[in-house]
Amino acid sequence: MRILIVDDEKSIRTTLKIFLEREGFVVDTAETAMHAMDLIRTVSYDILISDIIMPQVSGVEFLEEIRLSLPDVPILMMTGEPTVETAVVALQLGAFDYLYKPIQKDSLVKTVKQAAKARELALQKQALEQDKLEYQLNLEAMISRRTVDLDKSMQSTIKIMTSLIDSRDPYTSGHQIRVGNLSAALASQLGLPRFAATGIRVTGYLHDIGKLAVPSEILVKPTRLSRYEFEIIKTHSESGYNILRDLSLPWPVAEIIYQHHERLDGSGYPQGLHGEEILPETRILTVADVVEAMASHRPYRASLGLDAALAEIKQHAGTYYDPDVVAACLKLLNEKGYEFENTYYESSFLGI
């Protein structure tokens, strides 16, 4: 360990230096507090020993200055005029211990070794704290990397699921993406935060995943469906819920999909939910789904057109559809010139 002795008397500096070097310490000396402070700026010391009565800057002033910059370094104070008041002041300012002149070798060595043990403990504590900090930083970096990887994996999973549905029902290819994008635009128009809008977009991309359980010949049938076939089609909401209910996502995706054919007046399916029983996100998705479906071509009919789609939601606002969502949709399409997007947006599914 390295020690700095500060005393204006050369004989004392020399004597203490000899005593402590014999004990294996590395010792530097300074004749004034100013000189000591210059050394401390360039050299790392483990223990400081300072006289109290010195010219220019006293030992007490030196102690006050150093204690701020070196809080964990033990400082021993020396004086040839010991008083209780001086000792109390020194200890209150953070001195480790107090030595009386003339300094006895045994007393010096014993006190310095005690200070050395305290310094070792302080260094060990610093090392532990540094290790803890590095561990936390490394852990945070690892979690961040894994979160990014998980996010990318989820994005890939969603994209693959969307592609699977399109491959089963090529005549309505792109429907889910357009519904997802319109749903997100409606969410933003309604003032929902970006993260919520992203969740609705993701749900839109997956809302017809239950059609994977519907026979392909029904999905692509070029004529109007029979009542029996339509009942089979209607099962896709519950099938979608069953497919996704165990998928861990930060939004209620499965529940929204389960409800996306419900109507405010209870006339929807499969549960016949009413009003507030239907999730707010579902009410947004429902309007987007109806508008896009009516404005697009289907195997059994040509496009009914955007005007007919908007007339439908306007006519049934408050009965089938949430009136606030309908108003937002009309504003978005009529006033803001929104156009259906076929772009698949790889939004962050974890909000990172």
Whether the link from the prior residue into 299 is cis, omega within 30° of 0, is no
Distance CA 3, CA 24 (A): 11
Q: What is the pLDDT of residues 271-303, one digit of tens each?
A: 999 999 999 999 999 999 999 989 886 655 666
Query: Which amino acid is residue 154, in one-letter code?
Result: M
More confident residue, 100 or 276: 276
Confidence band for 82, pLDDT divided at 50, 70 and 90: low
Please give the pLDDT value at position 179.
94
Please give the pLDDT value at position 298.
66
Helices 236-244, 227-234: inter-axial angle, 10-degree rounding: 20
Distance CA 48, CA 58 (A): 14
Q: With contact defined as beta carbons under 8 Å apart, do 315 and 322 qualify? A: no
Distance CA 72, CA 69 (A): 9
Q: In what order do the strands lie in the sheet with 97-100?
A: 26-30, 2-6, 47-51, 75-79, 97-100
Distance CA 281, CA 272 (A): 17
Please give the pLDDT value at position 299.
59
Name the one residue in this structure whose structure tokens are 């969307």: 162
Confidence band for 215, pLDDT divided at 50, 70 and 90: confident
Please give the pLDDT value at position 352.
42
Active-site residue identified among 105, 159, 211, 221: 211
Catalytic site includes residue 211: yes
Q: What is the pLDDT of residues 164-183, one digit of tens each?
A: 777 766 656 688 899 999 99
Distance CA 203, CA 281 (A): 9
Distance CA 338, CA 62 (A): 73
Mean pLDDT in the chain? 85
Average pLDDT rounded to a whole number, residues 140-159: 72
Is residue 133 classed exposed, middle or buried when 0-12, 13-18 and 19+ CB atoms within 10 A define those classes?
A: exposed
Q: Are strands 47-51 and 26-30 parallel, antiparallel or unpaired?
A: unpaired
**Distance from the Cα of residue 80 to its chain's centroid:** 59
Query: Which amino acid is residue 320, in one-letter code?
Result: Y
Please give the pLDDT value at position 142.
75
pLDDT at 263 over 90: yes
Max CA separation in the chain (angstroms):
112
Residue 34's CB: how many other CB atoms inside 10 A?
14
Distance CA 78, CA 87 (A): 10
Q: What is the pLDDT of residues 225-250, one digit of tens each?
A: 888 888 898 899 999 999 999 887 88
Q: All domains of the chain, ordered by start, with CATH?
A: 2-128 (3.40.50.2300), 169-335 (1.10.3210.10)
